[in-house]
Amino acid sequence: MSMYAIAGIQAFAALKAAQAQARGLAAQATYQRVQAKTDSLKYKAQGIKVLDNILATDAAIVARAGAGGIDPLSGSAKTLRTFAMAKGAEEKYLSDEGALIALRTGMAQADQYEAQASATMMSGIFNAAAAFGQAYAFNKSLGAAPKTPLEPSLQTTVTS
């Protein structure tokens, strides 16, 4: 088998290995994007629960104040409502920030996987080219028969 045939097999194997690794990294990138979106949605769901709690707390304060004959739109009832709204808004903003951080972190990780997949493919291509380069260099190092006959002075003569 010639050196170039062996180099071809090595190049093919290098490319196939790089492709398989790149596909794996691309799959990880896709999974990471889905996971980031899932995590982001969990934070958004938490934010919706916070809004529901704000409404429930406000309704409870108004109902209790009204049941006790107190004006729910002034005085201590209003102060309690304002405090509950402020704390709820703080929680809501934190959940929104958590969603954004989860999404951006996951997308950044996915981008890293995709960059790694691209680098892996380039490495495979370079390794394939190197296999042919090594075969060429090896063939050159072996040398070849001279193209011109040796000069008569260098030839040995057979004398009888």
Range 89-104 burial, b when 16+ CB lie within 10 A, else e? eebbeebbebbeebbe
Judge whether residue 159 has pLDDT over 60: no
pLDDT of residue 117: 95
Q: Residue 102 has what pLDDT?
A: 95
Average pLDDT over residues 65-79: 86
> Of 3, 1, 2, nearest to 135 (Cα)?
3
* Range in 70-74, 76-80, 88-92 the model is least confident about: 70-74
> Which of 109, 99, 110, 107 lies closest to 40, judged by CA?
99
Q: Which residues contact 3 (CB under 8 A, 6 or more apart)?
A: 135, 138, 139
| Tokens representing residue 115 in the block | 């960059």
Q: What is the mean pLDDT of residues 40-64?
A: 94
Is 101 a residue whose pLDDT tops 60? yes
pLDDT tens for 107-141 read 999 999 999 999 999 999 998 888 888 888 887 77
The answer, yes or no, to whether residue 1 has pLDDT greater than 70, is no
**Mean predicted lDDT score pLDDT of the chain:** 87
pLDDT in tens, 8-36: 888 888 899 999 999 999 999 999 999 99
Task: Spell out the residues 6+ positions from residue 56 whose beta carbon is closer than 8 angstroms to its own.
Answer: none
How much of the chain, in percent, has pLDDT values that exceed 70?
88
Beta carbons of 33 and 110 less than 8 angstroms apart: yes
Reading the block at residue 112, the tokens are 């890293």
Calculate Rg over the CA atoms of the chain.
37
Stretch 130-155: mean pLDDT, rounded?
Answer: 70
Do residues 44 and 99 lie in contact, with contact meaning Cβ atoms separated by under 8 Å? Answer: yes
